[in-house]
Amino acid sequence: MAGMMQEADIRTCFQAGGRIENVLIVARRDEAGGVEHVPYLLPSWRRGFVAIGLFRGAGVRAYRDLTRLVRFIRDDLSYHGTIALHEKGSPAFAKLRSFRTAS
């Protein structure tokens, strides 16, 4: 299962020389039928994918605007590699061994 990190912790690890090695975005339907996009990052300083936790409260950060999310990943997190997008529950997503469950 993927873990969580706060954005401030991620930035601290960047300052220590860490980087994001891979990004996976999971599209999921919310209760109102809209689509939310949850980014999962594979950081160089720990094993497995992590989601960005909410600043206040429990849960993961989700974005409705995919363009804004990609801009955040590219500009703020300096990741310029491939970004995979999967719909939660899709057969392709279920086959990912390194990422068995996603919120």
The answer as to whether 55 is a domain residue is yes
The answer as to whether 9 is a domain residue is yes
The answer as to whether 85 is a domain residue is yes
Segment 17-42 shows an average pLDDT of 92
The answer as to whether 40 is a domain residue is yes
Classify residue 51 by burial, with Cβ atoms within 10 Å: 0-12, 13-18, 19+. Answer: buried
How many domains is the chain built from?
Answer: 1
The answer as to whether 44 is a domain residue is yes
Closest alpha carbon to 64 in 41, 37, 28: 37
The pLDDT value recorded for residue 57 is 73
The pLDDT value recorded for residue 75 is 96
Residues facing 38 on adjacent strands: 26
Measured distance between the N- and C-terminal CA atoms of the chain, rounded to whole angstroms: 9
Length, in residues, of the chain:
103
pTM over 0.75: yes
How do residues 37-92 score in pLDDT, each as one tens digit? Answer: 999 999 999 888 999 998 777 888 999 999 999 999 999 999 999 999 998 877 77
Beta strands 35-43 and 20-29, pairing class: antiparallel
One-letter identity of residue 55: F
How confident is residue 102, by pLDDT bands cut at 50, 70 and 90? very low
Closest alpha carbon to 35 in 91, 88, 102, 100: 88
Domain that holds residue 57: 3-94
- Selected residue with higher pLDDT from 39 and 33: 39
Residue 98 clears pLDDT 70, i.e. is over it? no
